[in-house]
Amino acid sequence: MKSLESWGRYPQVEQRTQALTWRSDALPEVSGSVLPHGLGRSYGDSCLNGGGTLLLTSGLDKFIDFDPATGVVRCEAGVSLDMILRLGAPRGWFLPVTPGTKFVTVGGAIANDVHGKNHHCAGTFGRYVRRFELVRSDGSRRICSPDENPDWYGATIGGLGLTGLITWAEVQLKPISNPYVLQETVPLANLDEFLVVARESEADHQFTMAWVDCLARGKKVGRGLLYRGNFAPPQFDGLPLAKSHLSHGIGLAVPMDMPSFCLNRLTVSAFNWLYFHRQNGRPKQRLTHYDPFFYPLDAIYGWNRIYGRRGFLQFQCVVPYSTARDALKDILERSSRGGLPSFLSVLKTFGDIPSPGWLSFPRKGVTLAMDFANRGEKTYRLVEELDRVTREAGGAVYPAKDARMSPESFAAYFPRHTEFAGYVDPAFSSSFWRRMHPVSLPFSLESERASGAPQPQSVLALR
Amino acid sequence: MKKVLVLGATSAIAQATVRLLAARGASLYLVGRNAANLDAVTKDAATRGAAKVESKAVDLNDFATHEALVEGAFQALGGLDGVVLAHGVLGDQAESQATWTATEAVLRTNFMSAVSLLTPLANRFEAQKAGTMVVISSVAGDRGRQSNYVYGASKGALNVFLQGLRNRLAKANVAVVTVKPGFVDTPMTAHLPKNKLFASPEKVARGLLRAADSRKNEVYVPGIWALIMLIIKSIPESVFKKLKL
């Protein structure tokens, strides 16, 4: 048993691993359940398979085709967004939608139907997935697209890796005229101001998001900085860009787990105060390379280690506009009252562009992401409370960032979950999925917990 | 190396090398056994910027095809100035000890097929008075050890053959580079428990191309293996034979 962690490093489970190398190979025959696992950037347990096997897809990292005229890239599921940017950006093509890290595989981006700072005008990643191949444990291979096997297409986008193994996918990139973003930073006094400025910004900015100081209380709840931007217009007079324009930044690494006393209410509030006041209360404009604009945290490799060995819990919810103000105020106040610092909290608005994925998380409203250092029961209870508040507000919690939502919440958030369950591959499972379906034998939580329990018979072995 | 023949192109080290060569805009002729896997590597190389990629799926244990294969590579790319020979098998020491058949299979793939391919290649490179031949050997060829001496012998024989070839081709301006990787984390070693000495195929590929560019003779990749093997080679045989290595 080798232990692979999720990005939040909670929960810790024991699981086997099996590396995949060739897209034309059959699925490996293993006992127990399997789950595809890319770069492990999901925060909670949706990329873990305690007691089972993770199919490591990072070896499926070959490109199949790239057309510089149309911007359509076809590649294996283990190709990372970083690799696509290295291929596309120098040729004038960028990801249509990107999450806050480029160290995500294409398969993972589909399985979680990731979103970015441009959801209000672009929707989710899944919308740009033209086709992909899905391999099931019965040996079948399906090409899935809006026209071919559309049901499998819909189930697999946002399907958390449970419908089978995506071997390759075809993604439509979008043209850019240079790799720089014209970015504007606007200080926000509180949540109400965010709600106004964010909506206004949507009209003429492709990218918006706001950092919030989650320790601010009272009238200052929701105090923060809103970042908005657009790719800069051509400014290099048609000359080819120098190499230095195409890559950016030095990489720093967190060399070891930081002791937990480094992150406490005092240090976080000092950081937040400095971060906020650096702005002098005025909007600022600057030109910035896409790398620090989209991936500020990627520059610090292994930043999750600042939370120490116990890791952290991420919580991201979306709530409809009708309930947003009260629900988000409630959530921010609860987390602030709990005295557990959230180092990085992000507010953003989602538009109403629908995703083809049945279990897609983004929906029209306001989304808030926070992370909490893992302090045991206290933290679990807080996150569970936030889940309940979200549910009561008619919102949803993001499975890719969750480790505590209740099965009832999952059912409420994803009304197509029963239909989806019919598409889950019998040999595939995850710790998250079993948490949502505590009685779904044969891969139950109970057998995971009971040490030395006999391995459940593999559906693959029976074939 | 601008026009390169890669033998055993679907092996992990070769794949990583192919990517680096493709990114440099080289023309490539890729040879591998499994057609589907070879196709995946070929398309990957083409997408990553190779000027031209051709491929041929053959089993390199069929020596009769070698002359035609080399001829085909020269024709397809309009000449060759580089070869990366990367095919090989680890074999199973216990099986090799039990039967000659298993031993022969390792010797045929790792040594004889390499010699069979390098013979026509060497003659052509010698005639054109240019070229770089990079051959992936192994630290296991430096000293026979009970745990894998059949594999080691196949690589040891290869090393001696390459020394001779280097000696012969030096005056023809042809470089013969023997690359000796240590433990590499590849499908070939998937069954072995990993430790800190295991290097990634990417790291080995970078070292391989550095050695090829500077026309080195013999290189250990990663470099730490030069020291490790110096120590292992300097243990007196009377002591060595009592060790469990």
Considering only CB atoms, which chain B residues are within 8 Å of A75? 47
Contact A19 B187 (CB under 8 A): yes
Contact between B70 and B58 (Cβ < 8 Å): no
Residue A407: cis peptide before it, omega within 30 degrees of 0 = no
Q: Which residue of A has its CA nearest to B11?
A: A21
Nearest to B48 among A19, A22, A63 (CB): A63
A67 touches chain B (CB under 8 A): no
Contact A65 B187 (CB under 8 A): no
Q: Residue A289 is inside which H or E element, if any? A: strand A284-289
User: Per-residue pLDDT for A92 more than 60?
Assistant: yes
Q: Which of B173, B93, B163 is nearest to B125 (CA)?
A: B173
- DSSP helix/strand/coil, A406: coil
Interface test with B, best of A60, A61, A63 (most B CBs within 10 A): A63
Q: Which residue of A has its CA nearest to B15?
A: A62
Task: Give the pLDDT band (50/70/90) at residue A257.
Answer: low
Burial readout A405-438 (b: 16 or more C-beta within 10 A, e: otherwise): beeebbebbbeebeebeebbbebbbbbbbbbbbe
Q: Chain B residues contacting A, CB < 8 Å? A: 34, 36-37, 40-41, 43-44, 47-48, 187, 190
- Say which range, A147-156, A276-285, B186-195, has the weakest mean pLDDT: A276-285
Q: For chain A, positions 321-340, list CB contacts with chain B under 8 A.
A: none
DSSP lists the bridge partners of residue A165 as A135
Q: Residue A212 is inside which H or E element, if any? A: strand A207-212
Beta-carbon contacts of A130 under 8 Å, excluding residues fewer than 6 positions away, are: A72, A145, A170, A171, A172
- Integer CA distances (angstroms), A106 to A57, A98, A269, A299, B164, in order: 10, 11, 36, 20, 48
User: Per-residue pLDDT for A234 more than 60?
Assistant: yes
- The predicted model gives B196-225 an average pLDDT of 96
Contact between A206 and A230 (Cβ < 8 Å): yes
Rounded to 5°, the CA angle A172-A176-A177 comes to 150
Is B220 assigned a catalytic role?
no
Residue A99: cis peptide before it, omega within 30 degrees of 0 = no
What is the per-residue pLDDT for B88?
95
Contact B40 A24 (CB under 8 A): yes
Give B59→chain A minimum CA distance, Å.
18
For A269, which DSSP code? H
The dihedral sign for the CA sequence A299, A304, A305, A306: positive
Nearest to A62 among B41, B187, B190 (CB): B41
Contact B43 A21 (CB under 8 A): no
What is the per-residue pLDDT for A252?
60
Considering only CB atoms, which chain A residues are within 8 Å of B187? 19, 21
Task: Give the whole-angstrom CA distance, residue B221 versus residue A16.
Answer: 30
User: Per-residue pLDDT for A454 more than 50?
Assistant: no
User: Per-residue pLDDT for A249 more than 60?
Assistant: no
What is the rounded average pLDDT for all residues in chain B? 96
User: Per-residue pLDDT for B207 more than 50?
Assistant: yes
Model confidence pLDDT, tens digit, residues B61-104? 999 999 999 999 999 999 999 999 999 999 999 999 999 999 99
The dihedral sign for the CA sequence B141, B142, B144, B147: negative
- Say which range, A132-136, A238-242, B144-148, has the weakest mean pLDDT: A238-242
Task: Give the whole-angstrom CA distance, residue A170 versus residue B96.
Answer: 46
A23 touches chain B (CB under 8 A): yes
What is the per-residue pLDDT for A350?
98
Q: Which residue of B has its CA nearest to A83?
A: B48
Contact A22 B36 (CB under 8 A): yes
Task: Give the pLDDT band (50/70/90) at residue A216.
Answer: confident
Q: Which residue of A has its CA nearest to B18?
A: A62
**What's the longest Cα–Cα distance across chain B?**
55
Considering only CB atoms, which chain B residues are within 8 Å of A76? 40
Contact B40 A64 (CB under 8 A): yes
Contact A23 B40 (CB under 8 A): yes
- DSSP helix/strand/coil, B155: helix
Interface test with A, best of B34, B37, B47, B200 (most A CBs within 10 A): B47
Considering only CB atoms, which chain A residues are within 8 Å of B48? 63, 87
What is the per-residue pLDDT for A265?
67
Task: Give the pLDDT band (50/70/90) at residue A452.
Answer: very low
Q: What is the pTM of this model?
A: 0.90
Task: Give the pLDDT band (50/70/90) at residue A460.
Answer: very low
What is the per-residue pLDDT for B46?
98
What are the E-state strand segments in chain B? 3-7, 27-32, 52-57, 82-85, 131-136, 174-181, 218-221
Task: Give the pLDDT band (50/70/90) at residue A260.
Answer: low
Q: Which of B114, B152, B148, B120 is nearest to B134 (CA)?
A: B114
- The predicted model gives A418-445 an average pLDDT of 84
Interface test with B, best of A21, A23, A73, A79 (most B CBs within 10 A): A21
Owner of token pair 């399997």: A34
- The predicted model gives A222-251 an average pLDDT of 67
Nearest to B40 among A22, A66, A87 (CB): A22
Contact between A264 and A212 (Cβ < 8 Å): no
Nearest to B36 among A24, A63, A66 (CB): A24
Burial class (CB in 10 A: 0-12, 13-18, 19+), B100: exposed
Considering only CB atoms, which chain A residues are within 8 Å of B23? none
User: Per-residue pLDDT for A205 more than 70?
Assistant: yes
Model confidence pLDDT, tens digit, residues A42-67? 999 999 999 999 999 999 999 999 99
Q: Which residue of A has its CA nearest to B187?
A: A21
Burial class (CB in 10 A: 0-12, 13-18, 19+), B166: middle
- Integer CA distances (angstroms), A235 to A238, A287, A396, A426, B209, in order: 8, 12, 42, 54, 37
Q: In the β-sheet with A63-67, what is the strand arrangement from edge to edge? A: A63-67, A72-76, A165-172, A129-135, A141-144
Assign residue B3 a region (left: φ > 0; alpha: ψ between -120 and 50; beta: otherwise): beta
For A240, which DSSP code? P
Task: Give the whole-angstrom CA distance, residue A371 versus residue B121.
Answer: 60
Q: Which residue of B has its CA nearest to A167?
A: B40
Q: Which of A195, A219, A191 is nearest to A365 (CA)?
A: A195
Task: Give the whole-angstrom CA distance, residue B211 versus residue A59.
Answer: 26
What is the per-residue pLDDT for A462?
31
User: Per-residue pLDDT for A461 more than 90?
Assistant: no
Beta-carbon contacts of A100 under 8 Å, excluding residues fewer than 6 positions away, are: A116, A294, A295, A296, A297, A346
- Integer CA distances (angstroms), A296 to A190, B3, B92, B188, B193, in order: 24, 40, 48, 38, 36
What is the per-residue pLDDT for B61?
97
Q: Which of A295, A175, A185, A285 is nearest to A233 (CA)?
A: A175
What is the per-residue pLDDT for B106?
98
Residue type present at position A61: D
What is the per-residue pLDDT for A335?
87
Q: What is the ipTM of this complex?
A: 0.92
Model confidence pLDDT, tens digit, residues A32-44? 999 999 999 999 9
Contact B43 A62 (CB under 8 A): yes
- A&B contacts, CB < 8 Å: 30
Contact between A414 and A113 (Cβ < 8 Å): no
Contact between A342 and A382 (Cβ < 8 Å): no
Contact between A317 and A398 (Cβ < 8 Å): yes
Model confidence pLDDT, tens digit, residues A162-200? 999 999 999 999 999 888 999 999 999 999 999 999 999
Contact A65 B36 (CB under 8 A): no
- Integer CA distances (angstroms), A105 to A6, A74, A166, A206, A268, in order: 14, 13, 11, 23, 31
Contact between A455 and A50 (Cβ < 8 Å): no
Considering only CB atoms, which chain B residues are within 8 Å of A64? 40, 43-44, 47
What is the per-residue pLDDT for A235?
61
Task: Give the whole-angstrom CA distance, residue B7 versus residue B55.
Answer: 10
What is the per-residue pLDDT for A449?
45
- The predicted model gives B117-122 an average pLDDT of 98
Beta-carbon contacts of B167 under 8 Å, excluding residues fewer than 6 positions away, are: none
Contact between A180 and A230 (Cβ < 8 Å): no
Give A76→chain B minimum CA distance, Å.
9
Considering only CB atoms, which chain B residues are within 8 Å of A62? 40-41, 43-44
- The predicted model gives A306-312 an average pLDDT of 86
